[in-house]
Chains A and B, each alone.
Chain A
Amino acid sequence: MLADPNSLLGNFFERIGALSTFALEFFKRFWRPPYEGRELFNQMDEAGTKSLVLILVTGLSIGIVLAMQSRGTLARFGAEAVLPNMLALSVFKEIGPVITSLVLAGRLGAGIAAEIGSMRVTEQIDALEVAALKPFHYLVITRVLACVIMFPILTICADIVAMIGGYIESVLASNMDYRVFIDIAFSSIRFSDLIVDTMKTSIFGFIVGIVSCYLGYTVRGGTREVGQAAMQAVVLSSLLILLADVLVVRLSLMFFGDIGS
C-alpha cells in the first residue's frame, strides 16, 4: 500500500527519495569540472583541524573509561591480563569508528547544514549560480569529499589516543609495561580488520556530508528553518550511521570472517 504523501510517513519517504536523488546528483557531477581543489583543502582543514581537539578528548576519555569499567569485570574471571586485547578490539573495531563518527556528525553535520542553509536563505547560493560558479561543486562536492577523507583520519587519531588512555589507566592500576601492553593489545587483530573498520568511517563521512548538504541546500524560509535543518542533519546522520554500521559489519563478517579467523 502506498503511503499518503501528506502523512508523516509519506513525507518521510518523499524526503528520503529527494535525498537519494541529491546523492545521485553528487555522483553524476563529481567527475565533471570545475574541480575545486583549494576549497576542498579548506574544507578538509575546517573538518580536520577544528575537530581534532574534540576527537582527541573523546578518544582519551573512551580509552580511560573503557579500561576502568572493564578491569573489575575481567578481574572477577581472572582475565585482567587480556584487558589491552579487549580494549584494542573494542576501540579499533567498533567504539572508535562509531563514536568518532557520531561526534563528528554533531560537530560537522550541524555546521554544514547551518552554513549552507544560511547561504540559501540569504541568496548567496543564487548569487553563485548567476555568476556561473556552480554552487553544487563549490559547496556540496567539496564538503562531502572532505568528510569522506577526514573521517578515517580523525578515527585513527581517536583510536590511537584511546589506546594511550587505556595504557595510562593500566600503568596507574597495574604498572603494566608498554611493550607487554602493545603485545597483548595487538595479539588477535589483523591488519585487514583495522583497514576495514577504519575505512567504513568514509561511508559514515559520506552520510554526514550528503545529508547535511542536502538539508542545508534545500532550506526554504528563514533562520528558523536553518536551525531545524541543522538539528535534522545531526539526527538523520546519526541514525543513518548506526544503520550503515550494522550493514557494514554484516558485510565485513561475510567477506573477511570473524576476528582472528
Chain B
Amino acid sequence: MSEPTTTSTPDSRPADAPPEDIIIDMREVHKSFGDKHVLQGATLDVERGTSAVVMGGSGAGKSVLIKHIVKLLEPDEGEIWVKGRRIDLMKGDELDQMRLSIGYLFQSGALFDSMTVFENLDFLLERHTDLKKKERKDRIEETLDWVNLVDKAPQFPAELSGGQKKRIGLARAIILEPEILLYDEPTTGLDPVSVRTVADIIVRLRDERGISSIAITHDLLCAEIITDKAYFIYEGEILESGTFDEVSNSDHPVLRNFFKG
C-alpha cells in the first residue's frame, strides 16, 4: 500500500487537515487482529478544550481506538490527526515530540512498580525537562497536590489502593503539562466516592488548564460528570454521538439496552 500524502497550505498546515479548533480527528479508522475486525470505520473528533467520552460495552473496541491516538497501534486504514498533523504517519523524534504533548492514563495506572511514586513522576521530568532537582521536587509536589496524594510520594505502587494508583497515574500523565489527555477507563473498579473524586479532577483539568481529552468508559456516573461530547461505539463503529443526554436517551435498541439495562 502506498503511503498517503498530504498537501500543505502556506502556513504549513496540510490542506486536508481538520480546522484549528479540532485537536483530535479520527477518520474512518479500521483495525483488525487476525480475522477479528475490531474497528470498522470509526470516526470521531474532539474540539480543543473539551472532553469527549467514548462509551460502549466490553469488546466494542474502545481501548483499541484510544491507543491509535498515541500510535501505540497503527490503523490498517484511515487517518488520525492530532493537532493538525497525521500522527499515524509520524516516526522517531517527531512522534516523540507529539507524544510528549499527550498524557495517557492507563486502565491499571501502569505505574513503574520498581520506583516510588516520587520516582515515577521524577523519571519523566528528569528525562524531558531541564528543571533543577529542587524545581522538579516542587513540580512533583504541586502535581501530587492536584490529586490530593502529596503524602504518598515515598510509597511504592504496591502499597497504594486501586483509586490511589489511578490518581497517581493521572498525576504522572499531567506532570509534563500536556495539551491532550487520554483516559482509558479512568474509574473502572472504583467505589462511587472515588469515581466522583477522579471525575472532578478530570473536569478541573479541563476548566483550569484547558486540557482537551478523550475518556473511554462504561461508567455512566463518570461519563455524566465529564462529558462535553459523547460517542457510543458498538462493534468497532461509532453508533451515536451528541451530548450525554442525547446519547443516553437515544432510541437505538443497543443504546437503550446499554443505558437502561
Given contacts A124-B113, A126-B72, whether A132 and B96 have CB atoms under 8 Å apart is yes
Given contacts A132-B128, A133-B127, whether A127 and B112 have CB atoms under 8 Å apart is yes
Q: Which residue of B lies closest to A133 (CB)?
A: B127
> How many B residues are at the interface, by size bracket?
20 to 34
Which parts of B64-115 form the interface with A (CB within 8 Å)? 67, 70, 72, 95-97, 99-100, 102, 104, 106-108, 110-113
A124: B residues at CB distance < 8 A: 110-113
The answer to the question of A172 belonging to the interface, with a C-beta cut-off of 8 Å to chain B, is no
B112: A residues at CB distance < 8 A: 119, 124, 127-128
Cα–Cα, bound, A131→B182 (Å): 13
Q: Which of B99, B108, B111, B128 contacts A130 (CB 8 A)?
A: B99
Given contacts A127-B104, A130-B102, A132-B99, whether A122 and B128 have CB atoms under 8 Å apart is no
CB distance from B65 to the nearest CB of A (A): 15
Apart from A126-B110, A130-B104, what 7 extra A-B contacts exist at CB < 8 Å? A34-B127, A123-B108, A127-B106, A127-B172, A130-B72, A131-B99, A131-B128
The answer to the question of B124 belonging to the interface, with a C-beta cut-off of 8 Å to chain A, is yes
Let me know if B106 and A126 touch, CB within 8 A: yes
Given contacts A130-B70, A131-B99, whether A122 and B110 have CB atoms under 8 Å apart is yes
> How many A residues are at the interface, by size bracket?
10 to 19
- 14 residue pairs bridging A and B, Cβ less than 8 Å apart: A122-B108, A123-B107, A123-B110, A124-B110, A124-B112, A127-B111, A128-B112, A130-B70, A130-B102, A130-B104, A131-B124, A132-B100, A132-B128, A133-B127
Cα–Cα, bound, A253→B128 (Å): 51
A14: B residues at CB distance < 8 A: none
Cα–Cα, bound, A34→B92 (Å): 12
B67: A residues at CB distance < 8 A: 126
Q: Which residue of B lies closest to A121 (CB)?
A: B108
Cα–Cα, bound, A126→B73 (Å): 10
Cα–Cα, bound, A20→B148 (Å): 47
Cα–Cα, bound, A119→B100 (Å): 21
Cα–Cα, bound, A133→B96 (Å): 8
Cα–Cα, bound, A129→B95 (Å): 10
Interface flags, A109-129, vs B, CB<8A=1, else 0: 000000000010011101111
> Which of A34, A127, A133 is the most central at the interface, judged by chain B CB atoms within 10 Å of its CB?
A127
B176: A residues at CB distance < 8 A: 131
CB distance from A131 to the nearest CB of B (A): 6
Which parts of B180-222 form the interface with A (CB within 8 Å)? none
B113: A residues at CB distance < 8 A: 122, 124
Cα–Cα, bound, A34→B123 (Å): 14
Which parts of A124-150 form the interface with B (CB within 8 Å)? 124, 126-133
CB distance from A6 to the nearest CB of B (A): 12
Let me know if B110 and A127 touch, CB within 8 A: yes
Q: Which residue of A lies closest to B106 (CB)?
A: A123
A123: B residues at CB distance < 8 A: 106-108, 110
Which 5 pairs, one residue from A and one from B, show the smallest C-beta to C-beta distance? A132-B96, A123-B110, A127-B110, A123-B106, A130-B104
Q: Which residue of B lies closest to A129 (CB)?
A: B72
Q: Which residue of B lies closest to A132 (CB)?
A: B96
Which parts of A1-55 form the interface with B (CB within 8 Å)? 34
Cα–Cα, bound, A34→B172 (Å): 21
B107: A residues at CB distance < 8 A: 123
CB distance from A128 to the nearest CB of B (A): 8
